[in-house]
Structure 1
Amino acid sequence: MATTENLTAQIFKPQFDYPETSTLINRIDSSDGSSISALDGEIDSRWYRIINPILWHWRGLPKLEAEAVLSKIAASTRHHTNDNWLDTVVGYQSGNWIYEFLNQAAIWQAKAESIDKTNLTNEDKNNLLNYYLIASEFSSIASYPHFKNDELAMYAQTCAYQAYTKALSFSPLLIKELEFKVDNRSVKAILHLPKTEKVCPVVLICNALGNLQIDYYRYFSEFLAPHGFAMLTVDLPTVGYSRNFALTQNSSQIHQAILEQLSSVPWVDDHRVFVAGFRFGSHIATRLAYLMPNKIKGLFNFTPFVHQIFVDNELQKNLPNSYKDMLASRLALPSISNQQLAAELKYFSLKNQGLLTHTCHVPVMNIIFEDDKLSNLCEAKLIHSIKQNKVVTVSKKQLQKSLHQAFTQSVKWMESIL
């Protein structure tokens, strides 16, 4: 991704000639957005985007600040592209989603910049790490849902990656930016390393549909690193550092290329590789486990998407508008109807691709959430290993606590496999 000096100062000038995010995909059909789970956020017909303050808070955002930004957006009297949706203020100005979240990111970046960088104490370094991480997360949410043809969102992504890079320079843990070759092109990944002089087992993260690769630092720092695991992140096709790659039914193209080249990375043990799929990313992770079992020690899926969402037309129809738009954007479809979406998605079913018709040769752990309409026990049981099948169901109540329990169990399981 391109970087620009003083990008933050440049972007905060109000401009009015940018198309508003919700208008970028031409929706032929609409929906009431009933098919989703608490993991994806709150369903509220007053918003185009899916609002997820619980997960944002888990990722490190101050809860009251995130709510305050939403309040500014909701209170705006500026012109909206759709009066039914609060987050559709036209132009880069107050009340616009990207504008308000980037403004909040700038406040935290300014806090970090105000710290004297000479003779830094450990407390200073910790503050710089946290301030830049918060700035990065606010910028990431500004970019959400990360449409490729959303110019303002691309600026927000650049801000997010710049802040993340600055944050990691103050982390007590070691971070490496790596480049891998994929079909004669390069893709940038980020390797996060624990404190050790030994080569580490590594977890390759396969992102959820609405995430950037920089959204997983907490999973690494609190759960993986203390147990000696490295974490390797890479963006989904069409998003972030992978935005020049298309998302096709061969969703694991980038990740397969990375696994093939992992032996050249000196800090990790390429014989102890786990793949972790989050939501839509489980499609990628599961493909990898079936196609490259000799490269993978174990498969961990956090609420797997491998079949149902790709073939259930009624489920697809009832997805929130922004979720359908996100799928359309990833598939490079500027216009989408329910019928078109169904026709495209059916090829993504790993059952239709013939993978789930035979057993997987690596141990598998699936975590599912209670009352999740997009991922359930039937979905998890489609992935069958000849070595180990572990399914954990966690409660939708006290989501923060449930997330902590789920991630703790994932690490314990990976340790047991090793």
Structure 2
Amino acid sequence: MRKVIIGSIMAATTLIATGEEGLKNLRGVDQELDGIFLREIKYDDWTYIGAEEGVITKVVNDILKENKGKDGFLDTATREYGDGNWQYEWDQIAAEAERSGDYEKAAAYYTVSAYPYFKDSRENYNSYVVNAMENYQKVVEEDGFYYEKIEVDTPQGKAYANLHLPEKNGKDYPVVIFTGGSDVFAIEYYRLFKEYLAEQGIAYISFELPGMGINSHLTYTPDTNIVHRGVIEKIKKDPRFNGKIVVGASSLGGQPAVRTAFTNEEDVTAVVNFCGALSDVWKGINPETVSYLPMLNQVVLADRLDTSIKGFAEAAPEYSLENQGYLGKMKTSVDIMSIGTSTDPVAPVSDAELVTDASDNGVNVIVASEVGHGMPRSVVLPLISGYIVDKLK
């Protein structure tokens, strides 16, 4: 294993509420909407996919004002689809962008509308699966690339993924398979393809994990990489691809990505795991400790697992890759790069060390930082793109 420690990064920009002054944009400040909003306001991530700072500030302030004085989380206080409702307010902004022909902003705002996505919400389905994806396809095609929604087989039935090609009629493509976490949508990493992979002649496939977005009809069971395996089988039969595959993921997606290095060892060239929740955090969750997790994480993970918060707490240890017999017990010939911060409680350095120790050619990149879990995509994508391109050439 090679360990690399690189310089510190600043904490991501956050949005905080400060009394009558409303929402402020500050850097390096902890999220002070905790306890006020269920959702985290992900300023850096949303501006990175096309949202505007001023629009985020305005919509969140409007929701705060509309629900002022109500009980519970203010972003969930208005459940009917109208003024003050999270989905409604963001859908209005998204529809306005769509009417003006700004499909990138429309896709971004519809995606924020659906965040963090609950499978029983018709508004979530319409905002993301219908509207965000429709605008996203227009963005990809306007950029001169080929887009195709593909269908793959899994033990739970059909799953869906987004295929991107540098050219429609190209062939002999290596491919990157990429996923985000439990509340990150497939379209949010498009810039990895647009800015780094396409010019190198590399195809790109993205999808949501089971239980979310276009795969919300599936359940995130301990067999977490069912969609990955289905996509790989699809690739192997498609003459457009040359058989070289890199799998990448962040946060909750890191677990199925790393798992694929073991279940599909002969098919995968390399895995990139950044800030992946692989083992330690899963082993530590039980009915007594689950309350220490932020409420957003509790309700989102219960939704993905198709259970209650109590059910999630009871099942969590089954998701640990150590408990499943992979990490600490098995080796893989797949090259693995792990990237994480030095202060991440969800993806601790010890998890990354287990991963890179399991690989014949493991690299562990530690970013000295006080950010905690996750890093800005503007920092991560340049770090991983060179590694990916090198493995696929």
TM tier, smaller: 0.7 to 0.9
Structure 1 stretch 384-393 or stretch 242-251: which is displaced more?
A: 384-393
Q: Which residue number corresponds to residue 5 of structure 2?
A: none
TM-score by length of 1: 0.79
Equivalent in 297, 315, 327 of residue 301 of structure 2:
327
**Range with greater deviation from structure 2 (295-304 or 176-185):** 176-185
- Equivalent position of 1:34 in the other structure: none
* Equivalent position amino acid for 1:235 in 2: E
Contact map agreement 1:309 1:315 (CA 8 A) in 2: no
Cα gap change, 1:311 to 1:385, in 2 (>3 Å): closer
1:291 is displaced (CA, Å) by 1.0
Name the residue aligned to 2:352. 380
After superposition, give the CA deviation of every residue in 1:20-39 in whole Å (9 maximum; x if it has no partner): xxxxxxxxxxxxxxxxxx9x
1:267 corresponds in structure 2 to: 240
Q: Secondary structure, in 3 states, of the residue corresponding to 1:294?
A: coil
Q: Report the counterpart of residue 278 of structure 2 in structure 1.
A: 306
Structure-2 residue corresponding to 1:345 = 316
1:68 corresponding residue in structure 2 = 58
Contact 2:342 2:349 in 1 (8 A): no
Give the gaps of 5 or more residues in structure 1: 1-37, 113-130
Distance 1:227 1:394, change over 3 A: farther
The size of the alignment, in residue pairs, is: 357
Counterparts of 1:114-125 in structure 2, within 5 Å, are none
Match of 1:364 in 2: 336
Is 1:234 aligned to 2:224, yes or no? no
Q: Which amino acid aligns with 1:193?
A: L
- Give % identity: 24
Q: How far off its partner does 1:92 sit?
A: 1.0
- 1:50 correspondence with 2:40: yes
Selected match of 1:393 from 366, 371, 385: 366
CA RMSD of aligned residues (A): 2.5
The Cα shift of 1:352 comes to 0.3
Kindly indicate whether residue 109 of structure 2 is the aligned counterpart of residue 138 of structure 1: yes
Is 1:99 matched up with 2:88? yes
Per-residue deviation, residues 235-280 of structure 1 (Å, max 9, x unmatched)? 211222222222110011121122122122232222x100002110
Q: CA deviation at 1:151?
A: 2.3
Larger displacement relative to structure 2 (92-101 or 314-323): 314-323
Q: Secondary structure at the match of 2:139?
A: helix
User: Mapping of 1:173-212 within 5 angstroms?
Assistant: 173-183=145-155, 185-195=157-167, 197-212=170-185
Offset at residue 362 of structure 1 (A): 0.6
Counterparts in 2 of 1:185 and 1:332: CA distance versus 1, 3 Å: closer
Provide closer, same or farther for how the CA distance between residues 397 and 109 of structure 1 changes in structure 2, counting only shifts above 3 A: farther
1:382 counterpart letter in structure 2: L
| Aligned position for 1:25 | none
2:18 maps to which residue? none
Q: What is the match of residue 156 of structure 1?
A: 127
- In structure 2, the CA distance between the partners of 1:43 and 1:379, relative to structure 1 (3 Å rule), is farther
Report if aligned partners of 1:42, 1:51 keep a CA contact under 8 Å in 2: no
- Report the AA paired with residue 264 of structure 1: K
SS of aligned partner of 1:382 = helix
> How far has the Cα of 1:353 moved from its partner?
0.4
Q: Determine if the alignment matches structure 1 residue 222 to structure 2 residue 195.
A: yes
CA distance in 1, matches of 2:221, 2:234: 22
CA displacement at 1:348 relative to structure 2: 0.5
What is residue 407 of structure 1 aligned with on the other side? 381
Q: Is the 8 A contact 2:63 2:74 kept in 1?
A: no
Cα distance in 2 between the residues matched to 1:390 and 1:351: 19
Change (3 A) 1:218 1:398: farther
Indicate conservation of the 8 Å contact 1:278/1:301, yes or no: yes
The separation in 1 between residues aligned to 2:112 and 2:225, in whole angstroms, is 25
2:222 match:
249
Shift of 1:216: 1.8
Does structure 2 conserve the Cα–Cα contact (< 8 Å) formed by 1:74 and 1:87? no
Q: How far is the alpha carbon of 1:311 from its aligned partner?
A: 1.1
